[in-house]
């Protein structure tokens, strides 16, 4: 029954199961060793090189275990779900927090509680991040790294506008944006916007929650059209349509929020920690700072993005798979993995050791953890996200009111959820 439900949910996965895959072992395979298969998605060359180093270190300290590391370059979760259906999934694989509620409910992952020894110190993990992989009081994954969101601001543009600090509230952000928006030719064409807006649910979830709303109810049904949700989202619409001081990436011909900020199209943008190395490497001349996401009224909200290592319940090498997971998420392993700052550690002790809570650019992300909620929206998160994104953009463009858009998004999402049950 459970696999039947998983099959219905990922029917399209059969069409993409032949996605490009790169397979590699950290060291030449020993015929007498147990081989553990590890799968993840593609990342930067720096990350891939670091992962190879970690796996080589693991093999040196665990000579009877060899790792076959597989990078899935396209349609990652579709490939994983397809393999789970066919009992061909890797022993250990990445699981994004967004996908976790559905997958952990399908009885295809191994609970990890019984493997954890006292020396592992699971209490050292940030509780909201660890609990995101908890289901029916069991832990199914240990998060390897994370990022919350923070406000990036261009210090040069702020100084030119007479602003000496980043905004602390959403009202201030809108006022600052007016001072930072420049119409170079006085003909309605804007050269520089105050703020770069991302209309996706992944970024707007914190606005809904800051107003006391939720993305879904206890049954997984969308609640986009609630009064509180509208209160949280309305300032975003008003700034874009009335103030004309914010822009989407498509408005300024860029591919991401980080890019429009780096190119100087906007003076502020809300991004994750991943934007720091991107900006430093791609736009080395830009002088920028980070700050906590502004409050909506007197309330802060944030979204935490994280990925865990999980174990396939059908693995034939569970003991060895756990040794790999525990090594990679141990204090030493995590410190090495996050030491360069491209990702943030999910262990509190490692963050303290590395000093990220005192880092001028990364401290805002650490400060956001206590009031952040994981990027999740229940077992039908993709359905909710797709319907929200389509309708919210429509409201942003003025094609319908925000209330109408959210009502349509909510109704469509819930109809699709009912059809899947």
Q: How large is the angle between the packed helices 45-61 and 331-338, nearest 10 degrees?
A: 150
**Which 8-state DSSP code applies to residue 335?**
H
- How far is Cα 414 from Cα 418, in angstroms, rounded to an integer? 6
DSSP, collapsed to helix, strand or coil, labels residue 330 as: coil
What is the CATH T-level fold of the domain 150-303+379-420, as seen in this structure?
D-Maltodextrin-Binding Protein; domain 2 (3.40.190)
DSSP, collapsed to helix, strand or coil, labels residue 245 as: coil
Element housing 240 (H / E): none
- How far is Cα 327 from Cα 324, in angstroms, rounded to an integer? 5
Please report the pLDDT score of residue 342 as a whole number: 86
- The two tokens of residue 158 are 């702020």
- How far is Cα 140 from Cα 79, in angstroms, rounded to an integer? 20
Task: HSE, CB side, 13 Å, CA atoms: give it for residue 39.
Answer: 25
User: Which residues, in sequence order, are CB contacts of 239 under 8 Å at separation 6+?
Assistant: 174, 177, 195, 197, 245, 246
- How far is Cα 232 from Cα 347, in angstroms, rounded to an integer? 31
Please report the pLDDT score of residue 196 as a whole number: 98
- How far is Cα 103 from Cα 163, in angstroms, rounded to an integer? 47
Cα torsion 250, 254, 259, 264 to 10°: value is -90
What confidence tens digit (pLDDT) does each residue in 92-149 have?
Answer: 999 999 999 999 989 999 999 999 998 999 999 999 999 999 999 999 999 999 999 9
Q: How many CB atoms lie within 10 A of CB 142?
A: 24
The CA-based diameter of the chain, rounded to the nearest angstrom, is 74
User: Which residues, in sequence order, are CB contacts of 242 under 8 Å at separation 6+?
Assistant: none
- How far is Cα 398 from Cα 280, in angstroms, rounded to an integer? 36
- The two tokens of residue 264 are 């100087």
Q: Which residues of the chain have pLDDT under 70?
A: 1-31, 185-188
Please report the pLDDT score of residue 31 as a whole number: 65
DSSP, collapsed to helix, strand or coil, labels residue 216 as: strand
What is the radius of gyration, based on Cα positions, of the chain? 22
Q: How many CB atoms lie within 10 A of CB 182?
A: 14
Q: What is the second-level CATH architecture of the domain 2-147+305-374?
A: 3-Layer(aba) Sandwich (3.40)
pTM here? 0.89
Identical fold for domains 2-147+305-374 and 150-303+379-420, yes or no, is yes
- Decide: 335 and 327 in contact? Cβ < 8 Å: no
Please report the pLDDT score of residue 185 as a whole number: 65
Q: How many CB atoms lie within 10 A of CB 386?
A: 15
Distances in Å between the alpha carbon of 324 and those of 34, 36, 344, 392?
12, 8, 20, 42
Q: How far apart are the first and last CA of the chain?
A: 12
- How far is Cα 304 from Cα 376, in angstroms, rounded to an integer? 9
- The full set of domain ranges for the chain reads 2-147+305-374, 150-303+379-420
What confidence tens digit (pLDDT) does each residue in 262-311 have?
Answer: 999 999 999 999 999 999 999 999 999 999 999 999 999 999 999 999 99
- Decide: 338 and 353 in contact? Cβ < 8 Å: no
Q: How many CB atoms lie within 10 A of CB 132?
A: 24
- Decide: 70 and 37 in contact? Cβ < 8 Å: yes
Angle subtended at Cα 381 by Cα 407 and Cα 211, rounded to the nearest 5 degrees: 55
């Amino acid at each position: 029954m459970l696999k039947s439900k998983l099959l219905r949910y990922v029917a399209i996965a059969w069409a993409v199961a032949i996605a490009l895959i790169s397979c590699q072992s950290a060291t030449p395979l020993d015929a007498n060793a147990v081989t553990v298969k590890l799968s993840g998605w593609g990342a930067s060359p720096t990350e891939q090189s670091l992962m190879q180093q970690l796996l080589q270190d693991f093999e040196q300290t665990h000579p009877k275990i060899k790792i076959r590391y597989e990078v899935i370059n396209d349609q990652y979760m579709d490939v994983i779900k397809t393999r789970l259906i066919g009992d061909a999934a890797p022993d250990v694989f990445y699981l994004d927090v967004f996908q976790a509620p559905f997958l952990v409910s399908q009885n295809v992952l191994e609970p990890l509680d019984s493997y954890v020894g006292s020396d592992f110190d699971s209490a050292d993990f940030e509780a909201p991040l660890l609990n995101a992989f908890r289901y029916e009081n069991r832990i199914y994954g240990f998060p390897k790294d994370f990022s919350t969101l923070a406000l990036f601001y261009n210090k040069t543009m702020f100084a030119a506008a007479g602003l000496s600090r980043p905004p602390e509230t959403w009202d201030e952000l809108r006022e600052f944006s007016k001072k930072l928006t420049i119409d170079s030719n006085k003909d309605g064409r804007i050269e520089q916007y105050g703020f770069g807006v991302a209309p996706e649910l992944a970024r707007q979830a914190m606005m809904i929650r800051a107003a006391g709303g939720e993305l879904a109810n206890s049954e997984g049904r969308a609640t986009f059209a609630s009064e509180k949700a509208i209160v949280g989202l309305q300032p975003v619409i008003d700034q874009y349509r009335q103030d004309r001081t914010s822009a989407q990436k498509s408005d300024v011909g860029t591919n991401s929020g980080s890019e429009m900020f780096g190119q100087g199209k906007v003076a502020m943008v809300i991004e994750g920690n991943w934007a720091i190395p991107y900006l430093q490497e791609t736009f080395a001349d830009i002088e920028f700072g980070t700050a906590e996401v502004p409050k909506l009224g007197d309330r802060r909200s944030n979204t935490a993005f994280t990925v865990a290592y999980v174990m396939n319940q059908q693995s034939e090498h569970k003991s060895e798979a756990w040794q790999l997971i525990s090594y990679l998420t141990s204090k030493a392993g995590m410190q090495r993995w996050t030491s360069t700052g491209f990702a943030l550690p999910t262990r509190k002790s490692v963050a303290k050791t590395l000093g990220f809570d005192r880092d001028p650019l990364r401290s805002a992300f650490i400060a956001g953890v206590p009031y952040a909620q994981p990027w999740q929206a229940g077992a039908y998160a993709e359905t909710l996200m797709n319907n929200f994104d389509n309708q919210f953009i429509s409201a942003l463009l003025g094609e319908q009111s925000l209330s109408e858009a959210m009502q349509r998004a909510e109704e469509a999402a819930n109809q699709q959820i009912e059809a899947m049950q």
